[in-house]
Amino acid sequence: MAEKEIRYDEDSIRSLDWKEHIRLRPGMYIGKLGDGSSPDDGIYVLLKEVIDNCIDEHTMGYGKHVDVAISGKEITIRDYGRGIPLGKVVDVVSKINTGAKYDSKAFQKSVGLNGVGTKAVNALSTYFKVESFRDGKVKIAEFEKGNLTKEHKEAPTKEENGTQITFVPDETVFKNFHFVQEYLDNQFWNYCYLNAGLVMNLNGKRYVSKNGLLDLLQRKTNADEIRYPIIHLKGEDIEVAITHENTYGEEYYSFVNGQFTTQGGTHLAAFREGFIKTVREFFKKDYDAADIRGSICAAISVRVQEPVFESQTKTKLGSLNVYDGGPSMKNFVGDFLTKELDNFLHRNPSTAEALKKRIEQSERERKELSGIRKLANERAKKANLHNKKLRDCKYHYNDEPTGKDKDLIAEKQKETTIFITEGDSASGSITKARSVETQAVFSLRGKPLNCFGLTKKVVYENEEFNLLQHALNIEEGYDGLRYNNIVIATDADVDGMHIRLLLLTFFLQFFPDLVKNGHVYILDTPLFRVRNKQETIYCYDETEKQQAIKKLGSKPEITRFKGLGEISPDEFAKFIGPDIKLQPVMMLPETHIQQLLEYYMGKNTPSRQDFIIDNLKVEVDLVENV
């Protein structure tokens, strides 16, 4: 029997208004939704879209501070700029492609040029209120999901000029969302680093920077781990800060017009190329690029007119020129480094010597590993990685999205996740329950090696580590990372916790930039299932279990999941789907990686023994209460 033909006629064509389109395709406007566990989740983008307008006012010379209050689910943002022109308050937040930033004279080097930002926030909020204070008058308008609910008449006010926006994200879109303070800290500090002198307040906490990117790198590095004092260079529309550490990998922070471009772009590519060229010419030696950039920690900020980003979320710069008819990004950044970095190295011979020693150390290590790497690559191919160890997914994080659905594919790529688990039963359950489009599974065999204090040679000699780095595609560096989210999924018992520590040691020891850039998570799965014939409740701790028992009453059935393999695929699908609970692995600025690893993974010290005994007691108490 032939399949029924799908109707395609005039009635099949729909025209959506701006609100409907944003709510139907939020990913096109704010990237992935998430619940706040990841720094690029939608709620942080909503916050950013409003604050970006405050920053643009500051950049134009109006307003020296921004106040932000987050109370429960409600966010209020107040700037002290010029205030939205009162007659256009409603239009600016509710009419697509409406704003002042199309006039380059008013906003020469703005982040938001598409007239979309606050409209997306408005459409994705159950409550949205805009107040503009301007020349002794105030204009207020209130909305619900983008629909105007109340427009107040202009009234006199004694408030300083500026704009205040209050909104409550729609919990049907951003399910179970919460803000992580560490992510907010990074977001606010970045604004201040890029706008020296700007004062930002979040719930009473003050953020301000005097030295720009120098302060950023000082916060991101540890004085005991850097090989030479941070190089800080500033020019017209460009600022860079550079140092090298004792860790592996490359770490970059790139910005355009105050926007944190997490995926880099033409300005970062120009910096990496220009840095290599300048170093080679200064030392008059053709060092390998990997040796020059190995262990680098650097930040670059540029300001350009009419920036072109590769998506509405502005995470990757696509502009080839600094401004229309101006120098190419490659020449602009390259020429700056050729002059300023070269001059700095000539004036600071001790820094130049320390840089040279770090490069030569990377060169020696690379040559020592060259033979081992070749054998390791051959072993990885023979191991038939993609059939035996890795259950891959359709999309990958760093693939270039193409085609008419480019934005939707980019949205999928941000959701890409690899679960690292141990044992056939656990990996089998996750594999059957996962989304084949965006979720991959890597199965460990036994406990990984404790690699604390070992060199990178062990990554190639140890089969599990070698295959894991190939699965992640990070052998040649961070740029090739195939999955945005690396999720450690181990049992909630002593063995599972040990495996989790060993994997974290592996990442912190050899690939710390993955952790520092927010790619590593712990999967939070329920410890208990409490159910009766009418209802099933999954509980993540003892308190939730007791609440469930009280709710269901009549001696419900209680199951404690001792391992992931005990959870059926049908149940597992609930825990790794839209409501997945992930605990981000975060590095605080003051964290010293080697000291941290020494404490947890080195020789037994009295302080660590006390820590283990105290936490073991907590675990014993929990088991006894089951």
Name the stretches of the chain with pLDDT < 70: 1-16, 97-116, 309, 311-314, 319, 383-387, 588-591, 599, 604-626
Contact 156, 136 (CB under 8 A): yes
Q: What is the DSSP letter of 265?
A: B
* Residues present in the chain in total: 626
pLDDT of residue 619: 40
CA distance 308 to 377: 39
CA distance 129 to 368: 62
- CA distance readout (Å), 379 to 388, 462, 511: 13, 11, 21
Spell out a b/e string for 508-537, using b for 16 or more CB atoms within 10 Å of the CB, else e. bbbbbbbbbbbbbbbbbbbbbbbbeeeebb
Dihedral angle over CA of 389, 393, 397, 399, nearest 10: 110
CA distance 626 to 623: 5
What is the pTM (predicted TM-score) of this model?
0.76
CA distance 36 to 31: 13
Report the SS3 class of residue 349.
helix
Cβ atoms within 10 Å, residue 141: 21
